[in-house]
Amino acid sequence: MKNLKKLTKRELRMIGGGALLCPAPATTCAEWCTWTADQRRRCRNMVMDPEPCGC
């Protein structure tokens, strides 16, 4: 915790949220498998396959 730097107001305004990193919700396993591991964890998907996707 020693190495934390205090952010200025300008730097705080420039921080982007995670919403822009998410692609459009995937509807098939093929689409979902092209996502990165971080996107799979954070982003919504609409995959309706009864079996889990095996990527």
Start-end of H helices in the chain = 9-14, 29-33, 37-42
pLDDT band with cut points at 50, 70 and 90 for residue 38? confident
In a domain, 11, yes or no: no
Q: What is the pLDDT of residues 11-33, one digit of tens each?
A: 877 776 655 578 888 888 888 88
In a domain, 47, yes or no: yes
Domain count, the chain: 1
Buried b (16+ CB within 10 A) or exposed e, 2-31: eeeeeeeeeeeeeeeeeeeeeeeebeebeb
CA distance 8 to 21: 24
State which residues form the domain around 49: 25-55
In a domain, 4, yes or no: no
In a domain, 52, yes or no: yes
Burial tier of 40 (Cβ tally within 10 Å: 0-12, 13-18, 19+): middle
At 20 the pLDDT is 56
